[in-house]
């Protein structure tokens, strides 16, 4: 696996407490798992739309995790992954969170606070060179965080089982994709994941007629 995408990747800003990443890696480490961890400078500047900016902590899930690794390791590791992700809520969300990133975009601009977290996200390999990015509301509570991230992992497992042929995300054909990244968020009222337009409405109003 070392030559391609990993089963699981963990990316984080170098200001994120090391013990948080260590706990996560210990929780999900497993014999045969290609797990790669990489830190990036906190002051790195990006030229990207707000919701495409890298979060302070991001977990990447490769297609091979679902296609190959889980078939060998079994569902026990799947539950470990869910537990590892759920353990991140306290540091990234809530009033007592310890990770409060301020990401500087191009030209020194600081994005306005939007509905989605800049502290944590999950990215996952999709078909045809695309990837999913799960956006989580910055105000999400601990119970909903565990439920939504768990449902996203279930969605990915089903997605790869059908090789992407089943339309499991609402609006996947209606919203343009930037940088081959499909932004998705959970619609709790309807119980489905929906594709999020990467261009904020205020930018559309400024550029449109």
Q: What ranges do the domains of the chain cover?
A: 8-207
For 18-41, the pLDDT digits (tens) are 999 999 999 999 988 999 999 988
For 113-157, the pLDDT digits (tens) are 678 999 999 999 988 888 999 999 999 999 999 999 999 999 898
- 186 — pLDDT class (breaks 50, 70, 90): very high
What are the C-alpha distances in Å from 53 to residues 49, 156, 162? 7, 22, 29
Stretch (H or E) spanning 148:
helix 142-161
What are the C-alpha distances in Å from 50 to residues 63, 96, 106, 112, 201? 26, 24, 11, 8, 12
Query: What is the rounded average pLDDT of the residues 33-60?
Result: 76
Give the three-class secondary structure for 122.
strand
Within 91-157, strands assigned E span: 120-125, 131-134
For 75-116, the pLDDT digits (tens) are 789 899 999 999 999 999 999 999 988 655 555 555 556 789
Q: How far apart are CA 171 and CA 184, in angstroms?
A: 10
What residues contact residue 26 under an 8 Å CB cut-off, 6+ apart? none
Do 126 and 69 contact (CB within 8 A), yes or no?
A: no
Q: How far apart are CA 114 and CA 105, in angstroms?
A: 14
- Say how many Å lie between the first and final Cα of the chain, rounded: 49
pLDDT of residue 209: 45
pLDDT of residue 195: 86
Supply 174's token pair: 């209606």
Tell me the pTM. Answer: 0.84
pLDDT of residue 67: 87
């Amino acid at each position: 696996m070392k030559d391609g995408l990993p089963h699981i990747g963990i990316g984080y800003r170098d200001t994120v407490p090391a013990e948080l990443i260590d706990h996560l890696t210990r929780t999900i480490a497993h014999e045969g798992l290609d797990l790669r961890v990489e830190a990036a400078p906190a002051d790195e500047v990006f030229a990207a739309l707000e919701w495409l900016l890298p979060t302070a902590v991001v977990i990447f899930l490769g297609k091979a995790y679902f296609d190959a690794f889980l078939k060998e390791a079994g569902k026990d590791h799947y539950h470990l992954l869910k537990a590892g992700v759920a353990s991140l809520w306290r540091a990234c969300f809530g009033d007592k969170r310890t990770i409060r990133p301020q990401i500087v975009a191009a030209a020194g601009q600081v994005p306005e606070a939007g509905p989605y977290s800049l502290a944590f996200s999950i990215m996952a390999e999709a078909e045809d060179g695309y990837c999913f990015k799960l956006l989580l509301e910055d105000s999400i509570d601990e119970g909903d965080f565990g439920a939504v991230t768990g449902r996203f992992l279930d969605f990915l497992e089903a997605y790869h089982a059908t090789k992407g042929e089943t339309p499991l995300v609402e609006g996947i054909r209606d919203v343009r994709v930037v940088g081959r990244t499909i932004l998705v968020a959970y619609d709790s009222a309807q119980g489905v994941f929906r594709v999020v337009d990467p261009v904020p409405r205020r930018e559309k109003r400024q550029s449109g007629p």
